[in-house]
Amino acid sequence: LVSAMNRVQLLGRVGQDPIMRQVEGKNPVTIFSLATNEMWRTGDSEVGQGALLLVCTLGDISQKTTWHRISVFRPGLRDVTYQYVRKGSRIFVEGKIDYGEYTDKNNVRRQATTIIA
């Protein structure tokens, strides 16, 4: 029995070559950005008739790009990601969402959302 679930699946393009970071006293992590796109046609109208659904294209196509920060901690996956994933690659990522905070170089507290692959 599952009482709660935190799971995300993303299919997109890698924004930059992955980098590997290591914070003192912690295991290394591979980090990269992933862009996902959502497209829709503005002004669509739907005409339904039983099981048949027609979509009339009356408007322009709009697109929204969302950038995701991906972190890979698992040793085998972390190393393979760092070695083979490259900017522009189309990849599928599965993981969980992590919400955290950090202090930037100007000593300002910031919030960060990360996908833990």
Residue 49 lies in a domain: no
C-alpha to C-alpha distance for 110 and 42, rounded to whole angstroms = 35
C-alpha to C-alpha distance for 117 and 114, rounded to whole angstroms = 9
pLDDT one digit per residue (tens) for the chain, 117 residues: 668 999 999 999 999 999 999 978 889 999 999 999 988 777 655 554 545 544 445 568 888 999 999 999 999 999 999 999 999 999 999 999 999 998 899 999 999 999 999
C-alpha to C-alpha distance for 116 and 94, rounded to whole angstroms = 8
pTM, rounded to two decimals? 0.76
Residue 18 lies in a domain: yes
Paired with 45 in beta bridges are 56
Residue 51 lies in a domain: no
The count of domains in the chain is 1
Residue 80 lies in a domain: yes
Residue 44 lies in a domain: no
DSSP 26: S
Residue 66 lies in a domain: yes
CATH number at residue 88: 2.40.50.140
The values of phi and psi at residue 108, to 5°, are: -105, 130
What pairing do the DSSP bridges indicate for beta strands 90-103 and 109-116?
A: antiparallel
C-alpha to C-alpha distance for 11 and 94, rounded to whole angstroms = 9
